[in-house]
Amino acid sequence: MPRITLLPLLLTLSGCALVFQGANEHVTVNTLSNKDINDTSCTLANEEGRWDVKGNDLVVIHRDGNAMTITCANQRQSGSVVVEPLFHGEYLFFDLFSACLLCIPDAASNSFYDYPEQVNVIMCDSAAADGCRGKLAAPKKN
């Protein structure tokens, strides 16, 4: 009998976005015009945390509704870009059917948002790095 009464409670602990997207996501950082791929390291940062990855590699990050900054550098080059997240309102639409009880876990985990799966960072010679800052070459998510 206790299992039957706990089932409705357990169902409300996860919203649609949290179930289908999760609190984390994969992002691949591609460094363009990179002259030293093996020595390039990148840092991704948003309000949920900071992650380090080699250039042209995949990293798991925590979703966030705020911009994410990606900075890459090696001995000769650097580049950075700011990426805005995409809001998935369709999950909010489904959560509203539960009198928005399901909105709470989705909002707390930032599961309504995601960043592009691939982000391109244009690398420039360190002396000319200011000319590369902020040039976003991120393809849209399919």
d(CA 80, CA 4): 52
Question: Quick one: pLDDT band at residue 96, thresholds 50, 70, 90?
Answer: low
Q: Where are the domains of the chain?
A: 2-131
Residues in the chain: 142
Q: Of 9-23, 70-84, 104-118, where does mean pLDDT reach its minimum?
A: 9-23
Say if residues 84 and 36 touch (Cβ distance below 8 Å).
Answer: no
For 121, the token pair is: 């960072």
**pLDDT tens digits, 107-119:** 555 567 888 999 9
Place of tokens 């902020």: 134
Say if residues 123 and 75 touch (Cβ distance below 8 Å).
Answer: no
Query: What pTM was estimated for this model as a whole?
Result: 0.71
